[in-house]
Structure 1
Amino acid sequence: MSLSTTDPEGLRPSSPARARHAFVTLVTNADYALGARALARSIRLTGTRADIVVLHTGGVDSSTLEPLGDFGCRLVETDLLPLSDEFNTRHARRNVHEKAPFTKGRKPDFHSPLDNFCKLRLWQLVEYERCVFIDADAIVLRNIDKLFRYPQFSAAPNVYESLGDFHRLNSGVFVAEPSLDTFEKMVAVLDAPDAFWPRTDQTFLQSYFPDWHGLPVTMNMLQYVWFNLPALWDWRSICVLHYQYEKPWEADHPRAEALRPLIELWRAYLTGENIPDLATLDNPVQAGTVPS
């Protein structure tokens, strides 16, 4: 843990660190601030003693962050990464979605690819020995403090359509060891001439850490598994539920009916009301089976 009293450039924390480890998320607008509330409540309910750090960009109004104080979150305002104008142009929303369109699901209109790279600011949090990053569109269903013993760089595979996806990582949950030296090297590689990262931070992290350590899919269970690979779904073992593509706070999205049980669970964590015992939840019905 760093003993420096000087905050790294580009970060402005609201308070000092209180623990050796931290769960870290990123909030870039009011919608993700809402997601962070559900995530923070879910983490606190696991009984962890780790800090919860919320990185937030200038696009977030302070009033939307206030409810996070109820969960003892440490707020850290962050600047966008110091990247070249050419890089920013290549990775603007329109250009990313034209060159690498999303065909498996729908990204909400508020999705901003450039903001995603702020995840790398985690490596500047050198006051912590180890951090676990969790996207703000996720909830934690049971204690996962053991992840702080995992090596850098650990992440779960991007499995949600077929078992053939185990070779790709999903950056919605990962384990990292903060280091200013690592951060500077990452930014240099990120902004190499003509570099283009079609899935933004996710593509970059897989390239930067080609020998990434695989976490179980239960540490980052993607919501599409519910209907694409129901045999993988078991409420007794899922630790982190990640709402990739359509978000649970959207009023009416194309997958809402198919994902109704997962959306209702997220809303229970958001409000803190009627959070169910996971052991009582039904797993998805598999094709060819008859519900009991």
Structure 2
Amino acid sequence: MVLGRSLRNHHTTRKLVVLVGPQVSDPCQSVLKKLYDEVRLVDVLDSGDAAHLAMMKRPDLGVTFTKLHCWTLTHYSKCVFMDADTLVVSNIDELFEREELSAAPDPGWPDCFNSGVFVFCPSMATYDRLLQYSTEHGSFDGTAIILMRYLDKCGDQGVLNGFFSSWSTADISKHLPFIYNLSSIAIYTYLPAFKQYGANAKVIHFLGQTKPWSHTFDPKTRQVRGAGAQDVAASHSSFLLDWWTLYSAEVVPMLQGHYGDQPFHSGCVEEEESQAGSAASAPPALSSEERKERWEQGQADYMGVDSFENIQKKLDAFLK
């Protein structure tokens, strides 16, 4: 919903299509129908198409097969796929000038592209070949899903990189600038570059296990709370605030209109509730071993105890 609203706010001239699973509630689907030109139900587990047959051979690739359905949108000549955990902060219609398969490098392994944003041309022939490739080769990141959850790997990225294996070497014009898929992980691994180019960002990608909607938000104090200080920091606080500001101001009222008298948890809390719960929700201090483990997983508290300023102070004290 936030992605669709952000695309509309930045005046896209293109049709918007959203792929949803059967678990999405009727009120939510009603809101999506107002934001998108087309809402398509995708469920490979119940379909009788080629994906269902492939699923029986490789049930471990369920998420992958669901995502590959975007290639069946053959009533469009070209599309830009975007994960639901992305936020548009500038018009990106120029992406339609790119060819298949255009994508930005992944921050974890730049010779691979990140499958959160990519340009493609719908084709049933490509769809069938992708399914065949998936069943024969699987996904190199599928088996590592438990170890790499913080990098948001779900199997589809390995399949797509294997299928479009020439992406890294064949045509540099298919390498999207990183501003079209700016991740929080990259911000903190190369902060100087973010300071230099971050203002030009067009798409923010909230990589990681903890998503913006995993938190809560106080519209009065404009504070994001919830999943722990480290997780707020890892999403970059300013972008996380942008996400919640848009959601609370423009999406929640639409949801309230469709839920009517039915209660629903919007994630927005009143100021007094935030103040009452702040002490209880404060994360406990981490041990040295726990901090080390978080560092190794790319989850350092960059906005708090592990900030650049604190690290510099520690180094200065050590050198003295």
Q: Which amino acid aligns with 1:269?
A: L
Describe the superposition over 1:191-242 as per-residue Cα deviations: whole angstroms up to 9, x where unpaired.
Answer: 11x6344241100000100122211111100112232221222342101000
Q: Distance in 1 between matches of 2:90 and 2:15?
A: 16
- Alpha-carbon contact 1:231-1:286 (below 8 Å) kept: no
Report the counterpart of residue 215 of structure 1 in structure 2. Answer: 176
Describe the superposition over 1:94-151 as per-residue Cα deviations: whole angstroms up to 9, x where unpaired.
Answer: xxxxxxxxxxxxxxxxxxxx23431211111111110000100010111111111101
Q: Which amino acid aligns with 2:67?
A: K
Q: Distance in 1 between matches of 2:93 and 2:29?
A: 25
Report the counterpart of residue 5 of structure 2 in structure 1. Answer: 41
The alignment yields a C-alpha RMSD, in angstroms, of 2.3
Q: Cα–Cα, structure 1 residues 86 and 217, in superposed 2: closer, same or farther, change >3 Å? A: same
Residue 286 of structure 1 deviates from its aligned partner by 6.4
Q: Cα–Cα, structure 1 residues 184 and 53, in superposed 2: closer, same or farther, change >3 Å? A: same
Q: How does 1:1-292 map to 2 (within 5 A)?
A: 37-80=1-44, 81-82=51-52, 83-88=54-59, 90-91=60-61, 114-159=62-107, 165-192=109-136, 195-199=138-142, 200-212=155-167, 213-233=174-194, 234-245=197-208, 246-251=210-215, 252-254=226-228, 255-258=230-233, 259-272=236-249
Q: Distance in 1 between matches of 2:193 and 2:66?
A: 32
- Alpha-carbon contact 1:151-1:176 (below 8 Å) kept: yes
Describe the superposition over 1:8-41 as per-residue Cα deviations: whole angstroms up to 9, x where unpaired.
Answer: xxxxxxxxxxxxxxxxxxxxxxxxxxxxx11001
Q: Which amino acid aligns with 2:141?
A: P
Report the counterpart of residue 7 of structure 1 in structure 2. Answer: none
Q: Distance in 1 between matches of 2:85 and 2:246?
A: 12
Where do 5+ consecutive residues of structure 2 fail to align?
45-50, 143-154, 168-173, 216-225, 251-302, 314-320
Q: Which amino acid aligns with 1:50?
A: R
Where do 5+ consecutive residues of structure 1 fail to align?
1-36, 92-113, 274-283
Residue 69 of structure 1 deviates from its aligned partner by 2.9
**2:81 counterpart SS class:** strand
Work out which of the two has the higher radius of gyration on C-alpha atoms and give 1 or 2: 2
Q: Distance in 2 between matches of 1:64 and 1:206?
A: 32
Q: Distance in 2 between matches of 1:157 and 1:188?
A: 25
- Alpha-carbon contact 1:156-1:173 (below 8 Å) kept: yes
- Alpha-carbon contact 2:179-2:198 (below 8 Å) kept: no
- TM-score, scaled relative to structure 2: 0.62
Whose relative contact order is higher, 1 or 2, with alpha carbons under 8 Å and at least 6 apart?
Answer: 1
**1:51 counterpart SS class:** coil
**Percent of aligned positions that are identical:** 27
Residue 177 of structure 1 deviates from its aligned partner by 0.4
Q: Distance in 2 between matches of 1:133 and 1:221?
A: 15
Give the number of the structure whose residues are more often strand, by fraction: 1
Q: Distance in 2 between matches of 1:271 and 1:222?
A: 22
**Bigger CA drift: 42-51 or 246-255?**
246-255
- TM-score, scaled relative to structure 1: 0.68
- Alpha-carbon contact 2:139-2:158 (below 8 Å) kept: no
- Alpha-carbon contact 1:122-1:178 (below 8 Å) kept: yes
Q: Distance in 2 between matches of 1:289 and 1:267?
A: 32
Q: Distance in 1 between matches of 2:43 and 2:7?
A: 26
Q: Distance in 1 between matches of 2:246 and 2:37?
A: 16
